[in-house]
Amino acid sequence: MNLQSGTYYWPTTFPDAPTYPLLAEDLSCDVLIIGGGSSGAQCAYYLADADLDVIVIEKTTIGSGSTSTNTALIQYSGEKMFTDLINTFGENYIKRHLQLLQEAINEMETASKNVTIDCEFIRRDTLYSASCAEDVESLKKEYEFLKQHHCELAFLTKEDIEAKYPFSRDAAIYSYNDAEINPFRFTHALLDYAAKKGIRVYENTEMNGHFYDKQKGMMTVSTKNGCSIQARYIIFAAGYEGMEIKKEKKASFVSTYTVTTNPVKDLSKWYNRTLIWETARPYLFMRTTRDNRIIIGGLDDNTTYPEDRDSKLIHKKNKLIEEFNNMFPTIKVQPEYYLAAFYGGTVDGIPIIGKYEEYPNSYFLFAFGDNGTVYSQLLSKLIVKEIVEGNCPDLALYLQERPLLNKR
């Protein structure tokens, strides 16, 4: 899959990132993780302390897939409001989903403290604003649901917003304690942690086939360079490219665009350096980075053809800068890195753990959606719990055929 094109900021923040060898022999293990992006790294992190023999293979280099284009706003609120998700899944289901998302963000914070590579994890508040007057009512309903479920937040009026920011909106949810991270450093940090605990990591090692030995109860994976790995369990953490291994009908793709600016001297007009997004679909979103750059993203386009996606990059870059200038006219920015990328979501707004008959003892981690990194943290934990303990009731919430448990 031609995932993305353009120039990428995150890898420049870690030029001396660890490297790993190419697989050059046949191996066997308890758990094989396919993919060395943030999802594979999150699985490896959870498996690092289990008494299991684990291998990670990555077809190119660590963190070079969607992980290097991720804007890494770390939030529990996603593209579909929780109040909308309740209509599909029921209140108990969505209450549990919300709890698991909040736990996942806490676990990312804990993980970032357990590792030795700095992942630039910082707690940030979020401004989630109404893009138009018609959206105020649904935003208010969402606020009331979240408040009722003990989320720390406030509802801002137009006057409150104008007092804090140089732009105006009719209303907003201001939520405390979301976060931002450097996804490239985070991925490396988790794999470095896992490798130091004995997990074997191989780069430039691409899976190109598999078969199941019923008698042994083992999956065997072949690699493009002629090696094989036998495993009791496989976690397919190949990101959007996982769809090339197993198509999942609930997934869908669009093209999206981001710009990372030059470092800015004065961010004092940006209240608390909040993460910013809005109710419009598609929406604009922005954050700052540790070295005072601004990342602006959005202007999604329905095309799934790489040439078409890429032909719009310059126009979208200019438009993103223009949108930013409208909101923060006194912050002068220049685009330094800009990219076009495919971005995957699910039709019902909930990420997927795929378990398929033709892939025995295997889990497909389809953490698709705007909070992909948080979803991956959540799903990795559930998959690892099921592998290690043999049972994880919460995993059923995310299976591709979601049983609409507790719907009422």
Ligand X SMILES: Cc1cc2nc3c(=O)[nH]c(=O)nc-3n(C[C@H](O)[C@H](O)[C@H](O)COP(=O)(O)OP(=O)(O)OC[C@H]3O[C@@H](n4cnc5c(N)ncnc54)[C@H](O)[C@@H]3O)c2cc1C
In sequence order, which residues have a C-beta less than 8 Å from that of residue 185 and are 6 or more positions away? 10, 13, 14, 17, 117, 118, 119, 120
The answer to the question of residue 256 lying near ligand X (CB under 6 A) is yes
CB nearer ligand X, residue 44 or residue 94: 44
CB nearer ligand X, residue 160 or residue 323: 323
Q: Which range of residues in 57-65, 112-120, 160-168, 311-319 is near ligand X by CB under 6 A?
A: 57-65
Q: Which range of residues in 7-15, 107-115, 231-239, 314-322 is near ligand X by CB under 6 A?
A: 231-239
Nearest distance in Å: CB 69, ligand X: 4
Please give the residues from 65 up to 104 whose contact with ligand X meets the rule CB under 6 A. 65-67, 69-73
Token readout for 32 is: 């094989």
Please give the residues from 281 up to 310 whose contact with ligand X meets the rule CB under 6 A. 297
Please give the residues from 29 up to 48 whose contact with ligand X meets the rule CB under 6 A. 34-40
Find tokens 């997004």 and name the residue.
277
CB nearer ligand X, residue 69 or residue 143: 69
CB nearer ligand X, residue 67 or residue 279: 67
Please give the C-alpha separations between residue 13 and each of 9, 37, 120, 194, in angstroms, as whole numbers.
7, 16, 10, 21
The answer to the question of residue 59 lying near ligand X (CB under 6 A) is yes
Question: What distance in Å separates the CA atoms of residue 5 and residue 7, rounded to the nearest whole number?
Answer: 7
Rounded CA Rg of the chain: 21
Nearest distance in Å: CB 376, ligand X: 6
Nearest distance in Å: CB 61, ligand X: 8
Q: Which of 11, 335, 345, 372 binds ligand X (CB under 6 A)?
A: 372
Count residues near ligand X (CB under 6 A): 37
CB nearer ligand X, residue 5 or residue 292: 5
282 prior amide bond cis, ω within 30? yes
Q: Which range of residues in 28-36, 93-101, 141-149, 326-334 is near ligand X by CB under 6 A?
A: 28-36
Q: Say if CB 193 and CB 114 are below 8 A apart.
A: yes
Helices (H), 150-212: 158-164, 183-196
Question: What distance in Å separates the CA atoms of residue 242 and residue 84, rounded to the nearest whole number?
Answer: 28
The answer to the question of residue 367 lying near ligand X (CB under 6 A) is yes
Nearest distance in Å: CB 241, ligand X: 4
Q: Which range of residues in 47-55, 122-130, 148-156, 365-373 is near ligand X by CB under 6 A?
A: 365-373
Which residue type is seen at 193? Y
Torsion angle (degrees, nearest 10) of CA 12, 225, 219, 47:
-30
Q: Which of 206, 248, 323, 336 binds ligand X (CB under 6 A)?
A: 206
- H or E, element range at 381: helix 372-389
Q: Which of 9, 202, 324, 343 binds ligand X (CB under 6 A)?
A: 343
Please give the C-alpha separations between residue 390 and each of 194, 233, 382, 386, in angstroms, as whole numbers.
22, 12, 11, 5
Question: What distance in Å separates the CA atoms of residue 366 and residue 363, rounded to the nearest whole number?
Answer: 9
CB nearer ligand X, residue 66 or residue 173: 66
Token readout for 214 is: 């019923």
Nearest distance in Å: CB 38, ligand X: 4
Helices (H), 79-225: 82-89, 91-114, 136-148, 158-164, 183-196
The answer to the question of residue 274 lying near ligand X (CB under 6 A) is no
- H or E, element range at 29: strand 27-34
The answer to the question of residue 238 lying near ligand X (CB under 6 A) is yes
Pairing of strands 352-354, 362-366: antiparallel
The answer to the question of residue 191 lying near ligand X (CB under 6 A) is no
Instruction: Give me the residues that bind ligand X (CB under 6 A), please.
Output: 34-40, 57-60, 64-67, 69-73, 206-207, 237-239, 241, 256, 258, 297, 341, 343, 367, 371-374, 376
